[in-house]
Chains A and B, each alone.
Chain A
Amino acid sequence: MEILVCVKRVPDTAENEIEVNREGNDIRRDDLVYSVNEWDNYAVEEAIQIVDKVGGSVTVVSLGDEEAEEVVRREMAMGANNGILLADEAFEGSDGKGLATILKAAVAKGNYDLILTGAQADDGAGQVGGMLAAMLDMPFASLVNSIEVLDGQKLKVGREIEGGNQEMNEIDLPCVLSIQTGINEPRYVGIRGIRKVASVEIPVWGASELGLVPEAVGAVGAKAQRVDYFVPAPGEGAEILEGSTDEIAAKLIELLKAKGGLK
């Protein structure tokens, strides 16, 4: 099975305090720790496991600036066979539809049976996978938490729905699936793995290689546009306990007692 996995380089929200920059048009980018989007890492692991079972190859593609190459390389160290970077100034400011349009053009240059995305990325959109599927006119399933290859024509996939229940579906190939976390346990990537792929050539495709007219993508083509970044004035919010650790703990114990939190 030929599998393409879309991976995005994102600021790690568990590691960073995200702040709005002075102009209010972006977040403060200096000193941010970046990594591969959590959901995408599960998608790559799943692709590798499928290929281990039924054969084929895994290609990872990332759309971003030159630095996105580092996540492509990381996922290749994990075991993906090929990597592609999509980078062009014309791509900047793309909305979800623009991103899907660019990825679709990259899909068209290959011959894939299965395309995986993450369920969502750092802006919590969860849109690129479903859009890409509709543009390619392929069937789609989101929030996939199990995949079983039935034969060369179809898969059995589980979707995680409310309450942690699982919705089982049969889906025809080729298709697009967006992957939910927890579907597997992504393998650890050590420094040796990274070194092994350090000198692998990763092709970079821009608008001309993809046969895209710049007006269709980027800020020009975007129908949904982010106007600003802001943090709303703090509303009621939490009462933040101040003082030494000792004092805070003592205050908290009083509050917990009053609210029935201590037996």
Chain B
Amino acid sequence: MAGQVFTYIVHKEGVADDSALELMAAAGKIYPEASVAAIVTGSGAHLDAVCDAMAASYPEVWKIDQDVLAYPNAEVIRRLLVNILPADAVVVLAHDTLGMDLGPGLSIKLDSVFVPDVVGVEGVRDNVLTVVRQEYSGQVYTHVRCDISAGAVINVRPGAFKPEESRSAAGQVVDKSAQAGDLSARRRFLEVVEAEVGDVDITKADVLVSVGRGIEDLENIEIAEGLAEAMGAVVSCSRPIVDAKWLEKARQVGTSGKTVKPKVYLALGISGSFQHMGGIKGSPFIVAVNKNPKAPIFQVADVGVVQDLLEFVPELTEKIKAK
């Protein structure tokens, strides 16, 4: 059997991210028998709070308290992990903005294999790990096999692994701060600039009419606005619509946009990427209109309409108005 399994815990103001227990679930699928250690870095009282919380679920928690770790700078964390981890460690990270920053380079420095954005784990046989990934915006799946005898860095998709409810541990917090070593880096964190607040607050809306790249053109945005008006809904959108500057950033739903909790969500020409769906909480009734029957949005929607939205939506709007 290969090395020990480690997870890296993302936290903010003393509270661990939802991914903390998902990583543990993923680690358990890789090696059901292994004892998994959570690595928590930071400084001061917030760090202690997170370590204590993690010890309730993880058998072992490695705490590293250093001023330079107060903000999670991936270039610094990478050096730290290379300094403290055994060479054949299996490291499980969330495929979020920190995991994407950290994982690929870490695997090179640890000379181990890397697999990004894993959505399923089939298990390990003879040191060969088989995982499931998606390609082409989730339209097809693949099995990926990798030799983890020299260790591995596995980035798992947020939300893909359900935490095990029953799991509880009277874990031990081990202070590894003294072993941190040289943490100098050529990228220095300066500050976080908060996203601008817009004119609309899509997070408060009960009904959202959301447009994606399928709307095809700036002129067509009014088709969605017309439907939203007829329904008494608010218009939101996916990222490409904001990138194209067709709608303001405050209307973007997703991990790099807003988290919304509507009762009804109408997705028009949205493929259903995990970064988009990650912004929809509270299990709304999801309706998807998409001309591609293979679009992954149909796997998560309640109701689907396989049609060209540019033809379907105006008709729907007329019918609603006529009632």
A and B: interacting chains: yes
Interface residues, chain A, with chain B CB atoms under 8 Å away = 11, 13-14, 16-20, 27, 96-97, 100, 119-120, 122-131, 133-135, 138-143, 156, 158-172, 175, 181-182, 185, 223-232, 234-235, 237-241, 245-246, 248-250, 252-253, 255-256, 259-263
Query: Which of B101, B137, B143, B193 neighbours the largest number of chain A CB atoms within 10 Å of its CB?
Result: B101
Chain B neighbourhood of A232, CB < 8 A? 141
Contacts of A11 in B (CB 8 A): 136
Task: Give the chain B neighbours of A237 by CB distance below 8 A.
Answer: 298-299, 301, 304
Give the residue of B105, B193, B301 whose beta carbon is less than 8 angstroms from that of A140: B105
CB of B143 within 8 A of CB of A134, answer no
Q: Mark B136-153, 1 if CB is under 8 A from A, else 0.
A: 110111111111000000
Could you give 8 example pairs across A and B, Cβ below 8 Å? A96-B116, A142-B101, A159-B101, A165-B194, A167-B193, A234-B299, A255-B285, A256-B264
Query: A160 to B287, Cβ gap below 8 A?
Result: no
Interface status of B109 (Cβ within 8 A of chain A): yes
Q: Please, how many angstroms separate the alpha-carbon atoms of A231 and B140 in the complex?
A: 5
Asked if A238 and B302 make an inter-chain contact with CB atoms under 8 angstroms apart, the answer reads yes
B190: which of A119, A156, A182 is its contact (CB, 8 Å)? A156
Question: Do residues B114 and A230 form an inter-chain contact, with CB atoms below 8 A?
Answer: no
A182 and B242 contact, Cβ closer than 8 Å, known pairs A119-B100, A237-B298: yes
Q: How far is the CB of A56 from chain B (nearest CB, A)?
A: 21
Contacts of B301 in A (CB 8 A): 237-238
Nearest-CB residue, chain A, relative to B304 = A238
A13 & B137 in contact (Cβ 8 Å cutoff): yes
Residues of B contacting A125 with CB < 8 Å? 116-117
Distance in Å: Cβ of B159 to nearest Cβ of chain A: 13
Closest 8 A/B residue pairs (Cβ): A130-B104, A263-B232, A261-B264, A238-B304, A134-B108, A134-B105, A164-B195, A139-B186
Of B44-52, B162-170, B249-257, the one touching chain A: B249-257
Q: Are B146 and A225 in contact (CB under 8 A)?
A: yes
Whole-angstrom CA separation of A261 from B207 in the bound complex: 6
Cβ-defined partner of A223 (8 Å) among B113, B240, B259: B113
A223 to B185 CA separation, bound complex (whole angstroms) = 29
With both chains docked as a complex, state the minimum distance between the C-beta of A215 and any C-beta of chain B, in angstroms: 16
Q: In the complex, what residues of B have CB within 8 A of residue A259's CB? A: 263-264, 285
Are B104 and A263 touching (Cβ within 8 A)?
no
Chain B contacts to A: CB under 8 angstroms: 73-75, 78, 95-98, 100-109, 113-117, 130, 133-137, 139-147, 185-195, 206-207, 213-214, 231-233, 239-240, 242-245, 249, 252, 255-259, 263-264, 266, 271, 285-288, 292-294, 297-307, 311-312, 315-316, 319-320, 323
| B105 contact set on A, CB distance < 8 A | 130-131, 133-134, 140
In the complex, the answer to whether A229 meets B101 with C-beta atoms within 8 Å is no
Given contact pairs A131-B108, A182-B243, A246-B315, A262 touches B320 in the complex (Cβ within 8 A): yes
Contact A168 B305 (CB under 8 A): no
Contact between A162 and B189, CB atoms less than 8 A apart = no
Measured between beta carbons, the chain A residues less than 8 angstroms from B135 are 122-124, 229
Which of B105, B240, B242 has most chain A Cβ within 10 Å? B105
Report which of B143, B243, B323 forms a contact with A253, defined as CB distance below 8 A.
B323
A227 contacts B145, C-beta separation under 8 Å: yes
B305 touches A241 (CB 8 A): yes
For residue B207, which residues in chain A have a CB less than 8 angstroms away from its CB?
260-261, 263
> Is A238 within 8 A of B141, CB to CB?
no
Given known contacts A119-B100, A143-B101, A170-B187, A19 and B116 CB-to-CB distance under 8 angstroms? no
